[in-house]
A and B are shown apart, each in its own frame.
Chain A
Amino acid sequence: MLVAVLLPFIIAIFIPFLSRWKDKLHTGFFVTIVPVIIFIYFVRFLGTGFEPIVQEYSWIPSLDINMVFHLDGLSLLFVLLISGIGSLVAFYSVFYLHKSEQLGHFYVYFLIFMGSMLGVVLSDNVFALYSFWEFTSLSSFLLIGFWNYKKESRYGALKSMLITVFGGLSLLGALIFMSVLTNTTSIQGMIDQQQLILNNEYFPLILTLLLLGAFTKSAQFPFHIWLPDAMEAPTPVSAYLHSATMVKAGIYLVARYSPMLSANEWFFIIVSTAGIVTLCWGSYMAVRQTDLKGILAFSTISQLGMIMAMLGFGTKVAIFGAVFHILNHATFKGSLFMIAGIVDHEAGTRDIRKLGGLMTFMPITATLAVLASFSMAGVPLPFLNGFYSKELFFDASLHLEAASTGFTGFFMTIVPYLAVFGSIFTFVYSMYFFFGTFRGKAHLEELPKKPHEAPIGMLVSPIILVAGVILIGLFPNVVNEPFIAHAAESVKGMALEEKHLKFWHGIVPPFIMSLAVLVFGTILALSRKVWTPVYRFVPGVLSANKVYDGLVDRVESYSETITKGYMNGSLGRYVRLILAAIIVTTFAFMAITGGFKIDTSNLSQITAPEILVAVTMVIAAIGTALTNNRIAAILILGVVGYGLSMLFVIYRAPDLALTQLIVETVTVALFLLVFYHLPKLRKKDEPVSTKVLNLIISIGFGSLMTMVAISSHSSKLFDSIADYFVKNSYKLGGGDNIVNVILVDFRGLDTLFEIVVLGIAAMAIFGLIRLRKTKGDE
């Protein structure tokens, strides 16, 4: 299986070379081979006697990240969808994408997506799963941005990336939580130890994070907004990623974890609510659309909502229906997308208001469309697969197994009504899609191209899919036993009794619901014109899109405001903020830890000369701040420096005194030299508040340092290592002057690099003075 997952990646590397010959042979042909091989490899596993298979390959064992592939019924369903639809889409794209496009890029992204998606559904290791998960988001980003010269493409790409990566990161959070709690990185391992997770105090957080990941990816309300904008991608991509596979990754995730999570009531409430709301909202929104792909996008959202809701219900019927619908949806929605692509390709527009009456020009396409859209609508005909799963959905909505009190109880009573409500609109847009495009009067003058039937190559893929629709409709139990049942078992986590699908059950409640949908749907569809103003009006301001746009725009503009607010380039401001932080925090720590101490037992005598020097220095230091004469200021600074060297003399540091004297003299000279050329000191004209603030900060900092100094002096806890130097200065260092011996010998490295510092300073100064930029040499 490793080979199967890696094959697309490996082939992707060669695509740039293959695409050089695209003029002779369309790159898509090579690409089609890849999913076909994978499909053939996996289709062998089908059968009633299927048993899960696990294969392990080590990758980063020290972090417990490995390639562990776990092929059970659910994975197999997805793998076959990915490779099967992948083959058809790749073949279809050969005719859809012109050779002048950047085919190399397209197919590289396409293959990366395919490999990643296979990785998602096969990985048992959560971090491998997460890696593949993010890669599906990224390849989707690149594919939506394929025609990146269009502004809408760039917008849609960014939107899908932000929302799905947001979900991805939140999923990562959940996965790490679960893996730390159970001390395993295997999904099956987690499910085996589910009590550790379910009973943890952070379980609500874990559940939220996990579901955020699933809902963003599977476009559940209110995170669905990225999907309609993703329709900027080339149509094969929409058919593949944004309807059949990638958007079902979230469904997959919920299904994968449902053996563990379905035990929790919150899982039932959140997932079913999100699913039902998404179903209703999506189908209602689809009715409003005028772009063929827009209709399909919202339709996908609503169908995903339906599957999600069934996973939330968690009953046997519901799970079975969910899994069955994953397959059915892929067949009819995939073909509808391809049909939309054909219409766009041959008529030059996807705007349903301009289309109409295309049946006479493209009879085959129209036939396919009628079958696929009626299946989507759930019209009760024995050869349409959509009807079966829709009826399972109704059946499930009537038989919820949960507590019948409180909110849950209320919720349970309204679910069937909401299910019917959502399905009515599903019926309406399905009819609109078909009749609006293919029936009615043709407005040829409004179409950019004269419509005609598509080339046969383009029709092959939708024909195969529609054939699937009919075959599954006619013989539902052929796919049921070897295939769907296994998938449902792995979702439910136990064996299900045989579910035999029948078309006719007699006049039972689900059938009545279907009839209601049919009747009301027909009425609404026929009276469409009457409702148009309502459709225009209702979502209005409440759109999640506006929230997204507002957020994204505002993130940038608020960031700018905030950042400019404090990062204004003013050094004074920076220093004030830095010092304030240091003062407050350090004082706080001193208070908390009781760091302040005064011990007067270990002090030297106070003598007059020192006091005199000290007082002079204080006066001089304050003087620097007060004087407005630059020469005076520099000289007063000199006074402080000389005062310091006096102190060095008093405190028995002859070498220091000498050095300080020399350095101070040179510095003062330098100061004078440099500032001879600079403007005079001005009176300080800043507001009093700033002055006070500056004063507070400087006094605060000065006293902080003094207090720490006094405390440090008062808590000499250990003997200094200095005795060693005194003892060994002559014996080992060969010098009487201990300071000198330390400098050149004991700590010679310091001195070496001190000289290096001076050397660098000299070079830098030399460069500063000598190197002048010539004009325009930036």
Chain B
Amino acid sequence: MSNLAVLPILLPLLAGIFAAFIHKKTTVVRTVSKMLAVINLLVVGFVFIKVKEQGSIVLEVGGWDAPFGIVLVGDLLSMTLVLTTNIIAVASVFFAPQSLSEKEESYYFYSFFFLLITGVSGAFLTGDLFNLFVFFEVLLMASYGLIVLGNGKVQLRESIKYVLINLFSSMLFVTTIAFLYSVVGTVNMAQIAVRVQEVEQQGILTTIAILLFFVFATKAAVFPLYYWLPRPYISPNPVVSALFGALLTKVGIYSILRTFTLMFNQQVELTHTLFIYLAALTMIFGVIGALSTHNIKLIVAYNIIPAVGFMLMGIGIFTEVSISGTIYYLVHDMIIKGVLFLLAGAIAYVAGTSDLRKMGGLIHHYPVLGWLMFLASLVLAGIPPFSGFIGKLQLIRGGVGEEQVMIIIVALISSLLILFSMIRIFIRGFWGEKTDIPFPERKRRGNLMALPAAALLTLSVLLGVGAEWFFPTIESISQYLMDPEIYIDSVLKE
């Protein structure tokens, strides 16, 4: 039973290796990858249901007792995120053949893809800080492989920046783990939590916690550490952008969420107040970025940042209500960012440009793309009753409960500006006089690209309209996170 926890890591790992062996046969690897991604999703769905019904699954890898060996903790939070990850994965794998060239596909796209999923799932599941570092490296290395795929001029240029910043933050990460090990003598997250609690998070521990926060914040793109993000995210192929936008920053946010609910929860008025201010700045500068450009892909990429601000806001406010908002937002944002990057990619493809100033009147030729984009913009901006709204509602409710007026006002204004930045794509790109269709030969492929995005978007709408099906689960995760003893007991079995 507890072995189930390894499946979400093991299956994509095997799939990745398998795909590497057959990488030259493009059609075969394509079909097989689609199948494997779907199978993986089904398995993960099964594990999720098990966890939901029977509680966390804790796997002591190799049979070594925690805290000495490595543990994988499949709790409801991890499994929810792993499940969402795999949903994105399936949509991406169906989008990929439309947007990649055969050559790119044959140079290990599918291997990198599955290994990225491996790394992300591993990061969500592991209960060991150093092992988290290792999974970070897996997903980063896979992302390096993906970002350089195609070897375009711009792409390589941006990749270097991406690799360097991440390399630096990895080194900082591993050093910080060492500091923490020196103080508490362990790298097991549950045991760290126990020990930090025992000494009431002394000064040095808070300092280390802040360093750790910065490591994760660099990955999550929190102000003022997100500079590296927008351009490298849009330089590779759209499907890669979608994977990055949907998954990578969220791993950072997840890590902050886990670290600061489980381990460093003793100096809330210090650390979490910092988060609130950073969240506000992240939202402001993020939307300013999104408004600064006419490049649709860049608009979408910049919109990752305010979303991170929203999620951080919930962690900063630190009540059951606000944390439930963060988790809802996390799931929502993974899906909608996937949708938006896929759509932006499809639009840029059919228009032959991603510059809004060179577009117009696309709705006459691509009504489906246009309406999907319109709907996706609403979902992103948190218009009710779509999924963005539920998260935002809980975040603001939490904020009101704690009388954090500043962040509430910033959040509301950001929502408006997010909508403004997105609706420009619809108004300037789709509305307008009917012109001749640009690149008529791209019509079929362009519409095929819309399919996976439409499927994800449907889910996103359901997540809002049918919130009743999801929210109780999210709420129970939030209660669970605010009571770290449950996690600690399940791992250390004391």
Contact = CB atoms under 8 A, between A and B. Distances in A.
| A contacting B, Cβ–Cβ less than 8 Å | yes
B144 A711 contact: no
Interface in B387-419: 389-390, 393-394, 396-397, 400-401, 403, 405, 408-409, 412-413, 415-417, 419
Interface residues of A, number: 103
Interface stretch (B39-47, B75-83, B111-119, B254-262): B111-119
B161 A574 contact: yes
B165 A574 contact: yes
Interface stretch (A56-64, A241-249, A273-281, A521-529): A56-64
B427 A157 contact: yes
A734 interface: no
A61 B467 CA distance: 9
Nearest to B61: A749
A73 to B, nearest CB: 27
A708 B210 CA distance: 11
A718 B400 contact: no
Contact of A756 (B115, B415, B427): B115
Interface in B191-206: 191, 195, 199, 202-206
Given A158-B423, A754-B134, A173 B204 contact: no
A156 to B, nearest CB: 11
B342 interface: no
Interface in A558-591: 558-560, 562-564, 566-567, 569, 571, 573-575, 577-578, 581-582, 585-586, 589-590
Contacts of A170: 412
B225 interface: yes
A157 B374 CA distance: 14
A776 to B, nearest CB: 12
Contacts of B20: 759, 763
Contacts of B148: 764, 767-768
A387 interface: no
B160 to A, nearest CB: 8
B355 interface: no
B112 A764 contact: yes
A632 interface: no
| Chain A contact residues, majority secondary structure | helix
Nearest to A571: B161
B186 interface: yes
Interface in A30-66: 58-63, 65
B107 interface: yes
Contacts, number: 295
A733 to B, nearest CB: 9
A567 B227 contact: yes
Contacts of B432: 148-149, 154
Given A169-B412, A593-B203, A720-B181, A148 B431 contact: yes
A757 interface: yes
B54 interface: no
B55 interface: no
Contacts of A571: 160-161, 164-165
A773 interface: yes
- Classify the interface of chain B: helix, strand, loop or mixed: helix
B204 A711 contact: yes
B206 to A, nearest CB: 5
A165 interface: yes
A707 B105 CA distance: 48
Interface stretch (B26-34, B286-294, B333-341): B286-294
A145 B203 contact: no
Interface stretch (B65-73, B242-250, B449-457, B480-488): B65-73
Interface string B361-377: 10100000000000000
A712 B134 contact: no
A556 B161 contact: no
A118 B433 CA distance: 34
A764 B16 CA distance: 13
Contact of A559 (B64, B144, B292, B403): B292
B185 A719 contact: yes
Contacts of A777: 101
B130 A585 contact: no
Contact of A771 (B141, B151, B417, B475): B151
Contact of B397 (A138, A176, A595, A749): A176
Interface residues of B, number: 117
B480 to A, nearest CB: 16
B134 to A, nearest CB: 5
Given A162-B416, A746-B69, A767-B107, A721 B206 contact: no
B18 interface: no
A753 B142 CA distance: 12
Given A63-B393, A574-B165, A713 B409 contact: no
Contact of A585 (B134, B274, B403): B274
Interface in A122-149: 127, 130-131, 134, 138, 145, 148-149
Nearest to B466: A60
A736 to B, nearest CB: 18
Nearest to B414: A169
B13 interface: yes
A60 B385 CA distance: 10
Contacts of B433: 149
Given A149-B434, A753-B138, A597 B225 contact: no
Residue among A582, A596, A711 with the most chain B CB within 10 A?
A: A582
B184 interface: yes
Contacts of B472: 62
B345 interface: no
A773 to B, nearest CB: 6
Interface centre among A556, A747, A761 (most CB of B within 10 A): A747
A563 B292 contact: yes
Contacts of B202: 593, 595, 715, 717
B429 to A, nearest CB: 12
Contacts of A592: 270
Nearest to A555: B291
B22 interface: no
A770 interface: yes
B206 A60 contact: no
19 contacts: A62-B472, A145-B431, A148-B432, A166-B416, A202-B403, A556-B291, A586-B214, A595-B204, A711-B207, A718-B183, A719-B185, A720-B186, A721-B191, A746-B62, A746-B64, A746-B69, A749-B70, A754-B137, A766-B108
Given A567-B289, A596-B203, 5 more contacts: A154-B432, A205-B405, A717-B202, A721-B188, A764-B112
Please list the 6 inter-chain residue pairs (A to B) with the smallest Cβ-Cβ separation, ordered nearest first.
A595-B203, A593-B203, A131-B384, A563-B292, A764-B145, A148-B431
